[in-house]
Amino acid sequence: MTMATTGQDVVEETRAFNTRMARILGRFPPLHKIDDVSLARSGDGPWPAPPVLAEGRDRVVPGRAGGVPVRVFTPPVVHGVYLFLHAGGRVVGSAGHQDTQLWDLARGAGVAVVSVDYRLAPEHPHPAAPDDCEDAARWLVGHARHEFGTDRLVIGGESSGAELAVHTLLRLRDADGSHRAFRGAYLAYGYYDMSLTPSARSFDEDGPLITTPVIRWLLSHAFPGLSPEQLRDPGVSPLYADLHDLPPARFVVGTRDPLLDDSTFMAARWRAAGNGTDLEVVAEAVHGFTMFPIKVAERELARAREFVARVVGD
């Protein structure tokens, strides 16, 4: 396993941004206090609505519960296909919330991007989200060459999307070995233990962005009625799964992220299982830091493009 601790040279910028963000977020009640899923999804908050790019194409692929919506970005030159799973704790977010980031990645890495608009809780609690992600992955395994001219695949996601990417690989592996179609996994600040790692338990009101109460609120909708022991089932929390025979992965997380332990623990287990593992820990970066206009985000987005391009080029 290679491990890098980065961002020290720009740590003052990162800290200053964290302070500004905490001040802005302090004007709005947190998700667990609003306790209104519809309002949480409405976009009425501190951040402007994300741009919707004409380069994104919405379509539907087959799934066990009906069609699975996906948003597709296809650059002029395609060397591979990146299956992307969005963030949002399985409760908020959509495939249409990161067009600019995905289009930049598509062009920079030379890959088509298929972003999955999986079903959200509480309307569709676990296992709806991993079912949709698995179905989209199976469609891609079977149709990528016809649709995009290549079967060089990579999977990835951010936050809950990273967790869903791991679940997808595990499900494909255990069913028929079709996970081997994916040459790598990009896993940014993921949830991997739904019973909460030590760091996830320790951010009671010490954000910014997400805190322990917000995490618990999201999990209560995504996994209703499950006991702590049930939350540690490998089918719920991939940190406890058998991780053998999985593709090389890049993990990235910030030191100010409640999910710091999730990434460091999972990276250690990924490596111990014999899989290629890179872990980058970014000084003072918060959860979701790649969404914001700071130097550590710019660097990580560039490294993500490099990772995806390298994986599909190997």
Catalytic positions: 159, 257, 287
Contacts of 114 (CB under 8 A, 6+ apart): 70, 71, 72, 81, 82, 83, 84, 136, 140
Contacts of 214 (CB under 8 A, 6+ apart): 30, 31, 32
Distance in angstroms (rounded) separating the CA atoms of residues 241 and 168: 12
Write down the residue that tokens 């296809």 correspond to.
Answer: 74
Would you tell me how many other CB atoms lie within 10 Å of the CB of residue 6? 17
CA-wise closest residue to 70 among 20, 130, 115 = 115
The radius of gyration of the chain from alpha carbons, rounded to an integer in Å, stands at 18
Would you tell me how many other CB atoms lie within 10 Å of the CB of residue 257? 26
CA-wise closest residue to 270 among 234, 243, 303 = 243
**How far is residue 39 from each of residues 4, 25, 45, 106, 160, measured CA to CA in Å?**
39, 16, 9, 31, 20
Write down the residue that tokens 């805190």 correspond to.
Answer: 211
Contact of 97 with 108, CB cutoff 8 Å: no
Contact of 136 with 116, CB cutoff 8 Å: yes
Distance in angstroms (rounded) separating the CA atoms of residues 187 and 85: 10
Give the three-state DSSP class for 296: helix
Distance in angstroms (rounded) separating the CA atoms of residues 162 and 283: 20
